[in-house]
Amino acid sequence: MKYLEEYRNPEIAHRLLDEIRDKVTRPWVIMEICGGQTHAILRNGIDELLPDTVTLVHGPGCPVCVTPLELIEKALTLASRPEVTFVSFGDMLRVPGVSRDLFKVKSEGGDVRIVYSPLDAIRIAKENPDRQVVFFAVGFETTAPNSAMLVAQAVREEITNLSLLVSHVLVPPAMTALLDSPQNRVQAYLAAGHVCTVMGWQQYESIVRDYHVPIVVTGFEPVDLLSGILSAIKQLESGQAKIENQYARMVTREGNLYAQRQIDDVFQICDRTWRGIGVIPRSGLKLRDKYATFDAEPRFGLTDLVIAEPADCISGIILQGLKKPNECPQFGNRCTPATPLGATMVSSEGACAAYYNYQRFRNLSEK
Amino acid sequence: MPDKPLAPEDFARCPLPISEHDTVQLGHGAGGRMMQNLISNLFRWAFDNDALNKMDDMAVVSLPGNKLAISTDSFVVDPIFFPGGNIGELAIYGTVNDVAMSGARPLYLTAGFIIEEGFPLADLRRVVESMRDAARTAGVSIITGDTKVVHKGKGDKIFINTTGIGVIEHPHTISGTNLQPGDRLILSGTIAEHGMAVLSQREGLQFDMPVLSDAAPLHGLVSRIIEAGGGSVHALRDATRGGVAAVLNEFAVSSKVGIRIQEKSIPVLPAVAGACGLLGLDPLYVANEGKLVAAVSADKAEEVLSAMRAHQMGKNAVIIGEVIAEQPAVVTMQTLLGSWRIVDIPLTEQLPRIC
């Protein structure tokens, strides 16, 4: 199993851990941006194996977690309409809106379909010409190309009963927003390998230059993450700040140019609200004017909603790496996967879910 | 109604219902001649046995011994045909295995069909023939049943309910409430194949190496386990929906014990591991239809393990962990790196992640 077993090899992992211990002379805070990496870290107990001086904080890279409550409510409204077939990735169905989630709408008779590829929405639209098919276009640069292809394909096939509820977000603006915050504690980033597979690592060059922060592009297996952490530590200890590409087996400087062209043809950059964090300028994608007919919001007359986040949920603080999930007083008490206060507790990439699922008894754990 | 079930060659030229209809009609469930013909020409033909052939509203059977194991299960899998199996054999093996997990010898099954109007009769025949073959393999007879046809759109092709009856011919208590600290947990083989086979078929996902369902009867393996372990076999459970993680959590909660397992011991085929990785699924939570977990006292564990490995269904059996008195109701796993994490029971089924 090339590219899998060798990156789970315990001996290599422990050699990397030894080297990290050798290099570290003082405390450092490193953020992994991606929720998938957060889960890999907690699932493998990597943070537990690191020296106490290395603190991993968890970033806002969970597309489910950062989709604003307004968009969730719009999704719930659309999915409830009798003429709409609402098409979504499975992750989004459990995300709580104000009083319900998409699973609840489905159980009430809403036509909600789970897909693995946005292009499935084309098939559904063709099979149901009398219905309005709405695709919930969420995710980072990893899923945006597929949403763009959906629009392009719909244009080619002259499909008119399809639209998108768009909530795509971009990683680099979130990274700079965190570094700009007076509360920032991030000293180095692990960049998400799959985002860089699409966009290349050149998009981080200006961040490194402007903020003098080391960025290491990393994959998702234990050896990937540990070698990324080691690279970041080496840079921090020597006062360097550069981009290193630990995920060279997948990532190039330029990335996937075809996918980038697809995104650029269909979407343009816009300001976007991140759930729990607020508006981050130029951090989102919206449909270009020439594809405005595919925008579900005007098509269904959805006006902007202003909805307060649950006051007891500190997911915004957690998504900015300012606190860890188990530092939240609600963690594991009022807030569990069955009774989530925020999306970070239900998403398969959410930091709170990672702590709850893998490590909530850590202080009890007998080793 | 024919005096005796038709032979396959009769079936092939049967005037009703096949020649008149290619699909299941509401009349096939209406209690009239169409239904009688369907039952006689398909179900009785396939499941042929004395108890069924009397065509009473019940089956009268003799059961050796006086301790019975009874289990019922409904099968609503989508798609109904998947790599390595179909809903029919699943309906047999699933219930046979549930009965067998008490250490019982499964003997009889009932079969209830809820069929959607318009369902192709050719597909129904495929399903029924595979049930017949699976029942033969498992050594059970399908002795009574029921057929309902629901309006188009009111069902999803076909649902099958099976109830199994088996006899317990040993004196031991085998139950999920019976785990003891010190017990070893033995897994009968590689995991997650059924769930990934169904998912790959449902979503049209192509993998380099095809992932086939592991659907299979486990009563023969159970028999070997009990022969080798006797009263030292404390619990048995097949790891179906929720996967091995769900079984371990059910054991830990029911017996109020802690469970520790080792990640490096869990066998996963490379193709399955790759498919799970691609979709962001943890194989520990993915369904199996031909794997079991046994809790066996430490002194007999190696003996039971050897007996399992000598059986086709357990040739890849491994000890994956142990039962502890501490941390009752919690399952923890030592990762490949040596750290520990919880193996929780999921709130609901796993959903592939967005990116």
pLDDT over 90 (residue B350)? no
Give the rounded distance of the alpha carbon of A315 from its chain centre: 14
Chains A–B, number of C-beta pairs less than 8 Å apart: 109
Sheet holding A111-114, edge to edge: A111-114, A84-88, A132-139, A162-169, A278-287, A267-274
Q: What is the chain B residue with the closest CA to A136? A: B354
Shortest Cα–Cα distance, B204 to chain A (Å): 10
Q: Based on the number of CB atoms within 10 Å of its own CB, is A180 exposed (0-12), middle (13-18) or buried (19 or more)?
A: exposed
Q: Which residues in chain A (86-105) have CB-CB distances under 8 A to chain B?
A: 89-94
* Tokens found for residue A183: 């509360």
Rg (CA), chain A: 21
Terminal Cα-to-Cα distance of chain B (whole angstroms): 58
B280 touches chain A (CB under 8 A): yes
CB contact under 8 A, A194 and B339: no
Q: Kindly list the residues from chain B whose CB atom is less than 8 angstroms away from the CB atom of residue A140.
A: 355
pLDDT beyond 60 at A253: yes
Cα separation of B81 and B202, whole Å? 9
pLDDT of residue B143: 96
Q: What's residue B13's pLDDT?
A: 41
Q: From the candidates B196, B333, B355, which should be mutated to test the interface with A, based on the most A CB atoms within 10 A? A: B355
How far apart are alpha carbons B336 and A222 in whole angstroms? 9
pLDDT (tens digit per residue) in A318-339: 999 999 999 999 999 999 988 8
Q: How far is A182 from chain B (nearest CA, A)?
A: 31
Q: In DSSP terms, which residues pair with B259 in a beta bridge?
A: B323, B331
Say which DSSP state B23 is in: B
Two structure tokens written together for B350: 């796993």
DSSP state of B50: H
Name which of A45, A63, A365 is nearest B354 (Cβ-Cβ).
A63
Long-range contacts of residues A253-257, Cβ cutoff 8 Å, at least 24 apart: A253/A200, A253/A201, A253/A202, A254/A200, A254/A202, A255/A196, A255/A197, A255/A198, A255/A199, A255/A200, A255/A201, A255/A202, A255/A203, A256/A145, A256/A197, A256/A198, A256/A199, A256/A200
A63 touches B: beta carbon within 8 Å: yes
CA distances from A6 to A10, A13, A223, A224 (A): 9, 10, 8, 10
pLDDT one-digit tens code per residue, A270-281: 999 998 889 999
Lowest pLDDT segment from A160-169, A189-198, B22-31, B290-299 = B22-31
Residues 239-278 of B with CB under 8 A from A: 260, 264, 270, 273-274, 277
- CB–CB contact A116 B340 (8 Å): no
Residue A366 has pLDDT above 50, yes or no: no
Residue B339 at interface with chain A, using a CB cutoff of 8 Å: yes
b/e per residue, A130-167, with b = 16+ CB within 10 A? ebbbbbbbbbbbbbbbbbbbbbeebeeeebebbbbbbb
CA distances to A147, A157, A158, B165 from A126, rounded to whole Å, are 17, 10, 10, 47
Beta-bridge mates of residue B162: B73, B111
pLDDT in tens, A118-166: 999 999 999 999 999 999 999 999 999 999 999 999 999 999 999 999 9
pLDDT above 60: residue B6: no
CB spacing of B354 vs A14 below 8 angstroms:
no
Tally of CB atoms within 10 A around B20 = 11
Average pLDDT over every residue of B30-34: 78
Amino acid at B162: T
Spatial separation of the C-alpha atoms in residues A264 and A301, rounded to whole Å:
26
Could you report the predicted ipTM of this complex, rounded to two decimals? 0.84
Q: How far is CA B190 from the centre of its chain?
A: 15
B44-80 confidence digits (pLDDT tens): 999 999 988 888 778 888 887 779 999 999 999 989 9
Tell me the per-residue pLDDT of B92-117, one tens digit each, with 9 for 90 and over: 999 999 999 999 999 999 999 999 99
pTM exceeds 0.90 for this model:
no
Helix (H) or strand (E) holding B75: strand B68-75
> What does the pLDDT look like over A32-74, one tens digit per residue?
999 999 999 999 999 999 999 999 999 999 998 999 888 999 9
A306-319 mean pLDDT: 84
- Angle, nearest 10°, between helix axes B87-100 and B219-229? 20
Nearest Cα to B282, choosing from B352, B197, B204, B206? B352
Q: Which residues of A touch B274 (CB under 8 A)?
A: 1, 4
Interface check A365 vs B, CB under 8 A: yes
Q: Do B355 and A143 touch (CB under 8 A)?
A: yes
Q: Do B280 and A116 touch (CB under 8 A)?
A: no
